[in-house]
Amino acid sequence: MDKALAYIDKLAAKLGVAAEHVYGILVNQSYVFGIINIIVGAILLAGFSVLLRLNYLLIAKGGSPSWGEEANIHYKLREVGDGMLFIVIIIVTILAVIFGLVALFSGVMQTINPEYYAIKEILDTIGGE
């Protein structure tokens, strides 16, 4: 912890500001990262619901009746190309869930406890020297 405080003081001296100001900036930056992660996670999870609906249309209905007969013919899983489309959509769906949940949880944690992430960033910087 002494090393972290010494690093903050050294950084503050180089910037010509008080160490408390540098720490405050890092805490505010943790809030920003947290909010951005929450937004990205929400977008990915919304994308997951769209992909889930598309998977349902491909598997259960072979296309949506509201799209018309031509669309039904193109989205049935009878050809190799459609099978590959199905596999790609499944992979993208799984990745959207994983990355969405990770980003959402990370964002919530950074927003709830930004001081921890500010100190963690300082310690990671010190460890990298």
Chain segment 35-83, per-residue pLDDT in tens: 999 999 999 888 888 877 777 776 665 544 455 554 555 555 455 455 6
Q: Which residue has the tokens 């540098």?
A: 22
> Minimal CA–CA distance to 93: which of 54, 37, 63, 57?
54
Which of the two residues, 35 and 119, has the higher pLDDT score?
35
